[in-house]
Amino acid sequence: MRQVSMTELSVGVRRPARADARRNFDALIAAARVAFAENGADASLEDIARRAGVGIGTLYRNFPTRQDLFEAVYVSEINELAAVASSVAELPPWEALSAWLSRFVSYAVTKRAIIDALNRESEMFAACRKAMYAAGTPLFERGQAAGVVRSDVSFDDVLRMVSGLTSAAFVDDAQRERVLALALDGLRVS
């Protein structure tokens, strides 16, 4: 599976070439992901810079607008979904799909936190959706072909089910994992 990178998707910012600048960029994306998950789209940019261990000027140099940061975080989530799909592709079909769906849960949590700030009609959003489906569909289809995934469901059905799980509040990550396992049990052929 080919991994889609941020440079292939239409996003207003580019990951820097210099190693130190890339570290700052990546730290800002990681800090923003956590801050948005905790505080939603209104998370403080100063807090994000502080969490990343950089100054606010570095944040603005990399992400001139809040929208640029939202889009870069969203694209990074898609990039990670593609990377996970590539890394689990050689696992047995059920293990590969369930590992990818486990990462999809994290993506859905981040997406839910910033979805209202994203332009769902944009080229970037459409490209991300296409890349996400391109990453996960082969894993799903391989599971169906192997007879370990129900044949009466679509990949879209599964993504909607797992996305719905993320809208619930959980006591902790362990509970979220248990609930995901319960949902996936309904998908698996016994």
What is residue 170's DSSP assignment?
-
Domain count for the chain: 1
State the pLDDT at residue 36. Answer: 92
* 55, pLDDT greater than 90: yes
Q: Give the model's confidence band at 2: pLDDT under 50 very low, under 70 low, under 90 confident, else very high.
A: very low
| CA dist list (Å): 108 to 74, 163, 167 | 10, 6, 9
pLDDT band at 11 (very low <50, low <70, confident <90, very high): low
pLDDT in tens, 72-94: 999 999 999 999 999 999 999 99
Residue 6's pLDDT is 43
Domain of 93: which CATH number?
Answer: 1.10.357.10
Indicate left, alpha or beta for 127 from its phi (over 0: left) and psi (-120 to 50: alpha): alpha
Q: Is residue 2 part of a domain?
A: no
Answer yes or no: is 5 within a domain.
Answer: no
Q: Which domain holds residue 59?
A: 11-187
Contacts of 58 (CB under 8 A, 6+ apart): 24, 28, 49, 52
* Assigned domain for 45 exists: yes
CA separation for the pair 94, 35 (Å, rounded): 32
Question: Looking at the domain assignment, is residue 76 inside a domain?
Answer: yes
In percent, the amount of the chain with pLDDT more than 70 equals 93
